[in-house]
Amino acid sequence: MFERIEMPKIFLQDQELAIQRIKNKDINVCVIGIGTIGLPLATFLAKSGFNVMGLDINQERVDSINQGNVIYEYSDIITNLVKEKKLVATTNVEEALKESEIIFVCVPTPLNHDNDMDEKNLLNVGERINKFLKEGMLLIFESSVAIGTTLKISKYIEKMSDFKFGKNIGLAYCPERYNPTPNKKRSSDEQYSTFSSGVTFSLDKINRVVGGIDEKSATLTQCIYQQFISTSVTKLSSIESAEATKLVENIFRDVNIALVNEFAQILPKFNLDVFEIIDAAKTKPFGFLPHYPGAGVGGECIPVDTWYLINQAEKIGLNTEMMKIARKINDSMPEHMIEMLEVELKKANKDIQTAKISILGLCYKKNIPDIRQSPSLKIISILKKNNVDFVVCDPLYEHNSDKLDFPVSSIQNVFKDSDAVLLVTDHDIFSSLDMLQIKNDMRTPIIIDGRNFFNEHELKNLGFVYCAIGKPQ
């Protein structure tokens, strides 16, 4: 009787054979962390033909995925994948890694109390998977991280094992580029540039970059993403280059949003509408990329990534004035909304201490059920600190309202006896509000618009006092 010889796993195979196996989808993969970033990745990997195990610590999340009833952009795709067992979720590490050769890591990396990157989720992943890793596996990190983090976590894993990344196990980094509400582009083109329209930026149409600890890790990782990304997958010189790319992308946005937020506080003093000015500036066909002001910047990317690089730079003795100013300006926008509110209440002979405030929108971005780093939370904190009576409405987050420590109302009741409405999140559902009925329900018809969402002339014709960030009062 012949002894069965186990075939080497992907990273230790001949590179051409490994690439062919990837193209044939003759390989099992695991995605660790099947939340905001990991689930779309797992979905498109499975859709392209890979057998995917999703590993998560949240049993409720795992159950909802395995039942095919999780609500997100690609719900219509995931239902069939689950039925066909192309995507299976579990909380069991051994089960998830038993047949897997490629492991994606997509866990959250929030800020700690010192505005530095909290590595505990990544370290926890290392501890949990360490004893189930096998020679020849390939680990690919997608979590947003500070420069050097991927190698730091790999060293942590090496200390607990006999593995050496780049020798008997592969390592790469591909920063996530997930847009929770896919943007429409302006015109069709092959490169899906900033100025294109008509096709959505779904996960498979967003260019990616990859970096590996060695050439083989990078090449295999590039090949994997090319199986479900229909645009370009660019191979960079190192893992650190890929990590830095993610930071630069988001810091660029953070700084430019801060700039227009400052414009939004200056130009109205000259009786100018900042939105008209920005739209006029973007008629220039080169050298200008439009950004728009608002109630603040939220989520686990833009405000977080800026702090990653600020802290890293300061640790090596470099000053980061522009990035710190950007964070200060963007973090101040909720306070700016409160100041606008107080001015209008005073004009109506109302004091904020005795007023009732209705807040529309708790999520940090339109049309998604995610409140991480949301500007609304800072507004609520300010109101609570000053003992102001307020109520919040967010139809996209109502199902999670039991986790909050402040009142959440239905859209039907949020305006009753209110003295002012703060529009913080521009969910599409708010566009169908009956504004005449709302005016009748309110005690004082004041609206402070943090997203240039409402039609100013329509509201004023109905008898509202209307103020918006960036518009002359």
Closest of 90, 143, 100 to residue 120, by C-alpha? 143
Give the catalytic positions in this structure: 246, 301
Mean predicted lDDT score pLDDT of the chain: 92
Average pLDDT over residues 394-421: 86
Q: pLDDT tens digits for 256-287?
A: 999 999 999 999 999 999 999 999 999 999 99
Average pLDDT over residues 464-472: 97
pLDDT higher at 298 or 405: 298
Give the pLDDT of residue 402: 63
Strand-by-strand arrangement of the 233-235 sheet: 87-90, 51-55, 28-32, 102-105, 138-141, 170-173, 208-212, 233-235
Q: How confident is the model at residue 208 (pLDDT cuts 50, 70, 90)?
A: very high
Q: Where are the alpha helices (DSSP H) in 316-445?
A: 321-347, 375-385, 435-441
* Cα 70-74-76 angle, rounded to 5 deg: 80
Question: Worst-scoring range by mean pLDDT, 176-180, 326-330, 400-404?
Answer: 400-404
Give the pLDDT of residue 401: 61
Tokens representing residue 308 in the block: 């990653």
Checking DSSP bridges between strand 420-423 and strand 389-393, what pairing results, if any? Answer: unpaired
Give the pLDDT of residue 181: 66
Average pLDDT over residues 208-215: 98
Q: pLDDT tens digits for 146-182?
A: 999 999 999 999 999 989 999 999 999 999 998 876 5
Q: How confident is the model at residue 76 (pLDDT cuts 50, 70, 90)?
A: confident
Question: Worst-scoring range by mean pLDDT, 44-48, 182-186, 289-293, 427-431?
Answer: 182-186
> Could you give the CA distance from residue 164 to residue 94 in angstroms, rounded to a whole number?
21
Q: Which amino acid is at 264?
A: A
Give the pLDDT of residue 5: 56
Give the pLDDT of residue 405: 85
> Could you give the CA distance from residue 171 to residue 239 in angstroms, rounded to a whole number?
9
> Could you give the CA distance from residue 75 to residue 369 in angstroms, rounded to a whole number?
14
Q: How confident is the model at residue 191 (pLDDT cuts 50, 70, 90)?
A: very low
pLDDT higher at 325 or 112: 325
Query: Is pLDDT above 80 for 400?
Result: no
Q: pLDDT tens digits for 364-390?
A: 999 988 999 999 999 999 999 999 999
Give the pLDDT of residue 182: 55
